[in-house]
Amino acid sequence: FDEGYQWFYEGRNGWWQYDDRTSVELESKYKTGNKVFELLIAGFLYIVDLENMVQYRRNDRTKKRRVRRDLSSIPGVKGVAGLKMA
Ligand code: V3L
């Protein structure tokens, strides 16, 4: 990772950091210029589209969440992969 950068997906009123394994995968795809790819997240296949910076379940494309690569110090981070920050 570049110094201080992290991957986030959109929550209701803020951003969730991706879990470590998924973050490493995202960073690797990002670095190789891979724009659209599948990821297994909590047992479901998701499409990540880095051209439009969104993710959505492969078999339900109606619920799109924004994706963001930004400094880990951004405001509004709720926690990691659904686990609220202490
Ligand atoms: N990593 C982990 N869980 C995810 C991810 C991901 N990248 N994408 C979706 N889910 P959907 P608030 C989120 C979960 O988009 O209160 C948060 O992690 C998603 O979890 O329709 O709204 C929280 O746990 C949701 O439970 O595929 O901010 C939860 O929402 C489920 O997959 C509530 O967060 C369906 O999301």
Ligand 1 contacts (CB < 6 A) are 9, 11-12, 16, 18, 41-42, 57, 63, 65, 78, 81-82
pLDDT band at 2 (very low <50, low <70, confident <90, very high): confident
Q: Where are the beta strands (DSSP E) in 1-86?
A: 5-11, 14-17, 36-41, 44-49, 54-57, 60-71, 77-80, 83-84
More confident residue, 2 or 79: 79
Looking at per-residue pLDDT, the higher value among 86 and 16 belongs to 16
**Is residue 22 exposed (0-12), middle (13-18) or buried (19+ Cβ within 10 Å)?**
buried
Q: What is the pLDDT of residues 9-39, one digit of tens each?
A: 999 999 999 999 999 999 999 999 999 999 9
Span from the CA of 16 to the centroid of ligand 1 (angstroms):
8
82 alpha carbon to ligand 1 midpoint, in Å?
Answer: 6
pLDDT for residue 48: 98
Percent of the chain beyond pLDDT 70?
A: 100
